[in-house]
Chain A
Amino acid sequence: MSVPREVTRHEDAIPQLADVNVPDELKTWIEQRMAMYPDPKSATIPCLMQAQKLHGWLSPDAVRQVAAVMRVTPAYLVSVASFYDMFELQERGRHTIYMCTNISCMLRGADAVMAELEAAVGVSDGDVSDDGIFLRRFECLGACDIAPMASVDGVYVGPLTVDDAKQLVEDLRAERDVLPAKHLTKRPVAATFWSGGAPAGSGAGEA
């Protein structure tokens, strides 16, 4: 056996497509993504994310599926996945709450909101509840204008009060839109927002 040039190309350790049952949709997605880069390996992170979306987490099966299509070893993919916070190498729930507890959110009471979330979900930081809600503290999510805030299944909501925390978990359990009035994407730029929602462009930039 020849010595492999790099671990990602260790042929013996790459699962064969014939042995792995890759969903067609995922296979097509990965192939299209790989074609977007001069070096197909660049597609690693997006492809892992797509597989995680499909499987709910990066299960060994999910990793093998990506490995078989990308022609890299599963070990390589796990080495990459373990570096990034958004990849889950252990099973998690149907819903994910990332609660920001970094400085700006901390200054506005994030720890109290987190404590309430833990009580409402019934788990502590980093755990999954029996009904499938995964809760974890997260570093700055880039929305300190609505601090304290959380990302719920990727949707940014804030500013959160302790009461909002209860409502948020209720909404999730009822499979409803979470705190619809507090979605970040509905918020105008600060100068407009704080002047009472006047039309965009009026008075902004003036002290």
Chain B
Amino acid sequence: MDELLFQDIDEPGLNTIEVYERRGGYETLKKALRELDGEQVLAELQASGVRGRGGAGFAMGTKAGFLPKGTMDKYLCCNADESEPGTFKDRELMQKNPHQLVEGIILASYAAGINKAFIYIRGEYDAQASILEAAVREAYEHGHLGENIHGSGFGVSLVVHRGAGAYICGEETALLDSLEGKRGNPRLKPPFPANAGLFQGPTLINNVETLSNVSHIVKHGGEWYAKIGTEKSTGTKLVSVSGCVQRPGNYEIELGIPAREIIFGLAGGPLPGREIKAWFPGGSSSPLLTPDEFDLPYDFDSIAGAGSMLGSGAIIVIDDSVSIVDVALRTASFYKHESCGKCTPCREGTNWTTKMLQRVADGDATPMDLDLIAGVQQQIMGNCLCVLGDAMAMPVSSMVNKFRDEFEAHLEAARASRTPLADAPAKLDLVGGLVPGVIA
């Protein structure tokens, strides 16, 4: 497979417009503006079948087609708030090839008739935001952005907007509120952003990696792109591999190759003397998979078929030196910290799940608490404005269910190390019942 997004990614100066243009950059844009109308560009995107790389995997061309026609202010928001634990692919794309993204944004705007575009980048990506700002400045100077681009009559503006540290702003409607200068609370859908998004105008929201694909799709045609990958998961995918592997990092793969090839082939497999016991296939929000699922084709539908999700394409590998109890607690506390607090099931559910898992970790729980934890997750899923709560409930459920034995063994070990009740001094709290910890 030839690389698409990562082609010559470390070529010195690729982040500058000189090198990018020398390599043929922005030629696709000029050609498209000269020879195609917006509808034709949109048709190529639709034919490519490219699915959103941010997590949901929704077909990009279809989403762009939802925007109403006609002349009005329409917006594009590039979601560069990459915050899903384990995900770091957009960072590398923006840092090393920002113009690939900028060209993709201009082409996508042309396709959907958009005249105002924004890149919402997480505030922590300081170096990358500065690089993007420089790239946007250069693109303006070379006439690729602004009004009447290359005499086509089409114009679009682009602003790099930095966030300030909130995972929830990667959720598309929270991103819109944040971009409007508010707290990043998700909105009730419908209306969907395609109809009433940023400033209540029609808005297209796409991930950095998705938009970075656009110039390649327009250059080679949607049909060509659709031949890469599988029938329903077209194209290449950047996979961020991290955790207990020998060679962590971003790898560009053709969608549909076995997960084993990524984890063992590219990332080098487990650290010496260790064995892999579980892996997140798509960020910390995806339900855990086990070693007997290494041969799954790594594409959207196969991973979904196994009860998990491809998500952002972040594989986090967990080996036998790590306690699943610790992983569950760390996962839950992250979502507890990041819950915006707007919907009760998420706000309370993430909070109480974390408290219960802390008790499990401390050994102050019984196997019945595991059932309670699993039950709480059911109460969260599908009951909130956005999926942040689900993003905790799904992996935590999978851990408690698939690794129940390990949780119980942990509790049993804690129980066995306690002073037997008969030998313990009688300690009764009249309000709260027996003091936790004395119950052996």
Q: Which residues of A contact B340 (CB under 8 A)?
A: 83
Q: Identify which of A87, A106, A184 contacts B330 (C-beta below 8 A).
A: A106
Partner of B124, one of A141, A146, A193: A141
**Which A residues touch B164, using CB under 8 A?**
45, 48-49, 81, 84-87
Q: Is B91 an interface residue (CB 8 A)?
A: yes
| Residue A129 CB within 8 A of the other chain | no
**Chain B residues near A201 (CB-CB < 8 A):** 3, 7-11
Q: Is B161 an interface residue (CB 8 A)?
A: yes
Known A86-B124, A98-B124, A200-B9; judge A103-B240 contact (CB<8 A).
no
Number of interface residues of B (CB under 8 A): 77
Which single residue of chain B is at the shortest CB-CB distance from A159?
B248
- Chain B residues positioned under 8 Å from A156 (CB to CB): 127
Q: Is there an interface contact between A107 and B322, defined as CB atoms closer than 8 Å? A: yes
Q: Which residue of B lies closest to A48 (CB)?
A: B164
Q: How far is the CA of A142 from the CA of B167 in the complex (A)?
A: 11
Residue B327, interface by CB 8 Å: yes
Question: Which of B86, B116, B125, B280 is in CB contact (< 8 Å) with A140?
Answer: B86
Question: Is B163 in the interface zone, CB < 8 Å from A?
Answer: yes
Chain B nearest CB: distance from A67 CB in Å? Answer: 13
B249 and A193 form a contact (CB under 8 A) = yes
Name A43's closest neighbour in chain B (CB-CB). Answer: B181
Chain A nearest Cβ from B298, distance in angstroms: 12
CA distance A138 to B333 in the complex (A): 12
Please judge, given known A-B contacts A36-B159, A140-B84, A194-B268, whether A103 and B327 are in contact too, CB under 8 Å. yes
Interchain CB contact under 8 A, A103 and B127: no
Pick from A46, A143, A188: contact of B91, CB below 8 A: A143
CB of B181 within 8 A of CB of A103, answer no
The reply to whether B178 and A45 form a contact with Cβ atoms under 8 Å apart is: yes
Question: Which of chain B's residues 130-182 have a Cβ closer than 8 Å to chain A?
Answer: 159, 161-167, 178-182
Q: Which of B178, B183, B261 contacts A207 (CB 8 A)?
A: B261
> A126-163 CB contact bits vs B (8 Å, 1 = yes)?
00000000000011111111110001001110000000
- Give bound CA distance, A79 to B181, whole Å: 11
CB distance from B157 to the nearest CB of A (A): 9
Q: Is the CB–CB distance between A189 and B124 below 8 Å?
A: no
Query: In the bound complex, what is the Cα–Cα distance between A108 and B9 (angstroms)?
Result: 27
CA A199 to CA B10, docked complex, whole Å: 8
Q: What is the bound-complex CA distance between A147 and B317, given in angstroms?
A: 13
Asked whether any CB of chain A lies closer than 8 Å to the CB of B331, the reply is: yes
**A140 with B248: CB separation less than 8 A:** no
Contacts of B46 in A (CB 8 A): none
Q: Which of A36, A83, A155 has a CB less than 8 Å from the CB of B183?
A: A83
At the interface with chain A, which of B100-108, B250-258, B359-367, B430-438?
A: B250-258
Among residues of A, the one whose C-beta sits closest to the C-beta of B11 is A200
Chain A neighbourhood of B116, CB < 8 A:
38
Q: Are B316 and A38 in contact (CB under 8 A)?
A: no
For the complex, what is the distance from the CA of A48 to the CA of B240, rounded to whole Å? 32
Cβ contact of B6, chosen from A46, A49, A98, A189, cutoff 8 A: A189
B88 within 8 A of A: yes
A42 interfacial by beta-carbon distance below 8 Å: yes
Known contacts A104-B85, A104-B86, A147-B242; A84/B166 CB under 8 A = yes
Asked whether any CB of chain A lies closer than 8 Å to the CB of B57, the reply is no
Residues 5-57 (chain A) with a chain B CB within 8 angstroms: 36-39, 41-46, 48-49
Q: Which residues of A contact B181 (CB under 8 A)?
A: 39, 41-45, 80
Q: Which of B376-420 contact A (CB under 8 A)?
A: none
Q: Does B126 contact A (CB under 8 A)?
A: yes
- Asked if B318 and A42 make an inter-chain contact with CB atoms under 8 angstroms apart, the answer reads no
Measured in the bound complex, the distance between the Cα atoms of B247 and A146 in whole Å is 10
Interfacial chain B residues near A39, Cβ < 8 Å: 180-181, 199
29 contacts between A and B (CB under 8 A): A36-B159, A45-B181, A48-B164, A85-B166, A103-B316, A103-B334, A104-B316, A107-B322, A139-B167, A139-B338, A142-B90, A142-B122, A142-B124, A142-B125, A143-B91, A144-B316, A145-B240, A145-B242, A145-B249, A146-B248, A147-B242, A147-B243, A154-B126, A156-B127, A189-B10, A190-B247, A190-B250, A204-B252, A205-B2
- A-B complex: 10 closest residue pairs judged by Cβ atoms: A190-B249, A207-B265, A200-B10, A44-B181, A85-B165, A144-B242, A84-B164, A86-B165, A140-B85, A154-B126
Q: Which residues of A contact B (CB under 8 A)?
A: 36-39, 41-46, 48-49, 79-81, 83-87, 98, 101-104, 106-108, 138-147, 151, 154-156, 184-185, 188-194, 199-201, 204-205, 207
Q: Beyond A86-B123, A102-B334, A205-B2: 17 further Cβ-contacts under 8 Å?
A: A41-B181, A44-B181, A45-B162, A45-B178, A48-B164, A79-B183, A98-B124, A104-B248, A107-B243, A139-B338, A142-B91, A144-B88, A190-B249, A200-B11, A201-B7, A205-B1, A207-B265
